[in-house]
Amino acid sequence: MTTTYTTRTSLWNGLARVLAAVALLFATATTLAQSDTLPPTTPSGKPLAFTIVSIKRHGNAAGGRKEGCSVDTCHFVDRPLLSFIMVAYNLSQKPVVGDPLPGDADLFDLDAKIDPADLPAAPLSSRQLADMLQPVLADRFQLRVHHETHARPVYNIVLAKGGLKLKESVPTAPGTPLGSCYHTSVGNGLRVEHNCTMNDVRNILEGPSGRYLVDKTGLTGRYDFELHWTPDDTPTDSQFAGGPSIFTAVQEQLGLRLEPANAPVDVLVIDSVQPPTSN
């Protein structure tokens, strides 16, 4: 059997609408959320899990509600399984080996909700909620995966010769700790971000760059920045055509450079999957 690599390079071109919401899903984090490094638990100390789950093939109904994961719910409409996998496993540009479903042509609506009695005192982050989708996909799609390390083309983030142009974030009040990375404006070819670590910057730039990124800057602070670029798929007759590429914009506006390289990358391998079981 031939395995193929699916990275967000191909998804960005072929599934732009599907991943538009996914790319923005975790741009704003809850400042008071529990640590993402710790698995969430119920007040009684049991592992937290979604108690109400609905997965069905998409019909003609409109989305209506805002999609994403927040508070106690994950809600998606008209999405292929691949986008659920990317959200649940935080794949970004990390490749997926194998076909999620034959052709991945089926589109699904997914709703998952936590029992209010099980909610912990501290709010859950979007990342924690998305991680909780992993057992949902294993149960309903019989999704079985494992991780491998493969050498893949990447971009190293390095400092540009002109010097760093990211602005160091300043607390809103003296002595107040900085919160999580968040945006105040975001769109196709636009990001206005605040309080971001270099790991946040890396995650933000991976989609438009088309490769997994490796931070080589050594920067440890939090930064504010505004980035404007012209996506590759911008029509030639668009008023935004002729603007800087993501690579030029990153160098001129952020003082960083995306340097081509090869590096070992964590790869998610799909061992088996089935159409979803009924609700």
Q: What is the pLDDT of residue 117?
A: 95
- CA-to-CA distance for 30 and 43, rounded, in angstroms? 20
Give the pLDDT score at 256. Answer: 98
The pLDDT score that the predictor gives to residue 18 is 41
- Per residue in 178-211, pLDDT (tens digit) is 777 888 888 889 999 999 999 999 989 998 999 9
How far are the Cα atoms of 72, 75, 176, 194 from residue 179, in angstroms, in the given order?
A: 21, 25, 9, 9
Q: pLDDT value at position 4?
A: 41
With the C-alpha atoms ordered 30, 32, 127, 148, is the resulting torsion angle positive or negative? positive
d(CA 71, CA 113): 9
**For the chain, which residues make up each domain, given as ranges?**
5-149, 150-264
93 and 266 Cβ atoms separated by less than 8 Å: no
Per-residue pLDDT tens digits for 120-142: 998 898 889 999 999 999 999 99
Q: pLDDT tens string for the chain (279 positions)?
A: 333 444 443 443 344 434 444 444 444 333 333 344 578 999 999 999 999 999 998 876 655 677 889 999 999 999 999 889 999 998 866 678 887 776 566 899 999 999 999 999 988 988 899 999 999 999 999 999 999 999 999 999 999 999 999 999 988 767 666 777 888 888 889 999 999 999 999 989 998 999 999 999 999 999 999 999 999 888 888 888 889 999 999 999 999 999 999 999 889 999 999 999 888
Other C-beta atoms lying within 10 Å of the C-beta of residue 47: 11
Q: Backbone phi, then psi, for 257, in 5-degree steps?
A: -135, 140
d(CA 82, CA 67): 16
**Rounded CA gap, 150 and 266, in Å?**
7
* Rounded Cα gap, residues 94 and 142, in angstroms: 22
- Going by C-beta distance under 8 Å and a sequence separation of 6 or more, which residues neighbour residue 92? 8, 86, 203, 206, 207, 212
- Residue tagged 């960005």 (tokens): 12
3-state secondary structure of 239: coil
Phi and psi, residue 167, nearest 5°: -95, 135
- Pick the closest to residue 84 from 182, 10, 180, 11 (CA basis): 11
